[in-house]
Amino acid sequence: MSWTKESIHEIVEKQRDFFRTGKTLDIKFRKKMLAKLGEAVKVHSDELTDALTKDLGRTDFEAFMADIGPTIAATKELSSKVKKWVKPELHYSGITCFPSIWTRVYKMPYGVTLIISPFNFPIYLSLVVAATSIAAGNTVVLKASSKSKHCTEAMKKMISETFPEEYFTLIDGGHDVADMCLEERFDKILYTGSPRVGVHVMEMASKNLTPVALELGGETGNWCVIRKDADLKDAARKIAFFKMLNSGQICININQVAVASEVADEFIKELKEAYKSQIGTSALDNPEYPHLIDKKAYDKCSNEADIYRDRIVYGGCGDEASLKYEPTVIYPVKIDEPIVLHELFNPLLPVVPYEDSKIDELMATIDSREHGLSLYLFTKDKKWAKKVMSSQQYGGGCVNEVMMHIGAKDVPFNGTGHSGMGAYHGEWGFREFTHPSTVLFGSTRFNLSLREHPHTGDVGKRKLSLVKKML
């Protein structure tokens, strides 16, 4: 199907009409839809896995671990807790509202939501966000990535077989189709992707004053800082795994490593060993190693590696036919070189040495740049780590670990500044897709006349005096 402005508008209007029926407000309906989505992912898991292999070179294990498994788990988690989350909050109104003692906050769905998902985790970052919107009581239009075309095709088939289009539909196509979607008046938009496109999404949404949540990669990348007291073998092992996962095409992945110069050579040695032990002597020949999404991404990675060819200490080779590029370590790199001033989104890893005694200067430089989506620290100095994590600006992160914060239960996943706004995962996502409506229940008895006229004269003075005391 070739999408047009008219056909997209028709879908949006159908969903608006369906939302107005009030069916999506029913908790049983929401739980039923979440169960249908989870079951559909199970039934179509082979097709989805095959699509992930075709688009990104994923193994069955990685496909399930990173996309399919967490999606099924999310639908169950949302279903089990939505009844609790949707319950109105009861608040004491305060003495100034007497005799209206109680105020309720209702968690109201926005209505028709637009989700624009990326190519790198095309199942998870499409369906988990959609499931969260469903749990919140909305309808969903999902604009899936044209880059991960096999996953988009598989999801479109699955969704069309499972849900009516007036409730949940997938729209495929390129940037032109995305813009057609953005021209429509949605009630909430969540976009995952680059800061550059995030700006465009906000501009388009502003024309209709549509609230937007953005999950972006971070313009100057996610830093990993290794102090001289760190367990270098442990750090190298975890970083090597992380940079190979999805061939570095992860919004929270380490973009560059700053390592204390006192232990830099030892860290490089441990990192090389970690790569070899996990992927073998040739990543290009290992069927477990994923590939880059397309020729454009491969060329970008290869061309940037060539610029730093004289400083590549590990990797540095690619295979254009398979779109694979080896995990590549570039060392040493200065903190102001171009490769550490933008998001890489590939397996290149520039390593920046610094003097451990000048750690405060390093952190100040990182803080002066655009805020990353993630920050990672490796150190035995927990007091210092807590100080940094509670004062630096970033989306989220780990100490002596990588990426696992994204899987922690009941906590938000979000960015700040150029790495995004808003939050999702669990209840935080439910909040993101609902509007808190405050309603005070008035009383017909014991109403005071303080707020009523007269406001002047002796009576007014007495009223003012009493109000001042109350406040």
Q: Is 167 helix (H, G, I), strand (E, B) or coil?
A: coil
Query: Active-site residue numbers?
Result: 215, 251
Q: Which residue has the tokens 């502003």?
A: 206
Q: Which residue has the tokens 């790198």?
A: 120
- Beta strand 374-378 with 223-226 is parallel
Which domains does the chain possess? 5-218+420-435 (3.40.605.10), 223-369+374-410 (3.40.309.10), 441-470 (no CATH)
Q: Which residue has the tokens 């169960």?
A: 35
Answer whether 339's CB lies under 8 Å from 308's CB.
yes
Q: Return phi, psi of residue 108, to 5°.
A: -95, 130
What region, left, alpha or beta, does residue 248 occupy, with left being phi > 0 and alpha being psi -120 to 50 degrees?
Answer: left
DSSP readout, 348-394? EEEEEEE-GGGHHHHHHHHHHSPPPSEEEEE-S-HHHHHHHHTTS--
Question: Residue-wise pLDDT tens for the chain (471 aa)?
Answer: 789 999 999 999 999 999 999 999 999 999 999 999 999 999 999 999 999 999 999 999 999 999 999 999 999 999 999 999 999 999 999 887 888 889 999 999 999 999 999 999 999 999 999 999 999 999 999 999 999 999 999 999 999 999 999 999 999 999 999 999 999 999 999 999 999 999 999 999 999 999 999 999 888 999 999 999 999 999 999 999 999 999 999 999 999 999 999 999 999 999 999 999 999 999 999 999 999 999 999 999 999 999 999 999 999 999 999 999 999 999 999 999 999 999 999 999 999 999 999 999 999 999 999 999 999 999 999 999 999 999 999 999 999 999 999 999 889 999 999 999 999 999 999 999 999 999 999 988 888 778 888 989 998 898 889 888 877
Cα 62–chain centre separation: 19
The first and second tokens of residue 358, run together, are 């000048």
What region, left, alpha or beta, does residue 304 occupy, with left being phi > 0 and alpha being psi -120 to 50 degrees?
Answer: alpha
Q: Is 39 helix (H, G, I), strand (E, B) or coil?
A: helix
Q: Return phi, psi of residue 350, to 5°.
A: -75, 135
Report the distance separating Cα 19 and Cα 15, nearest Å: 6
The pTM for the full model equals 0.95
Q: Which amino acid is at 18?
A: F
- Beta strand 256-260 with 324-325 is unpaired
The first and second tokens of residue 24, run together, are 């999506």
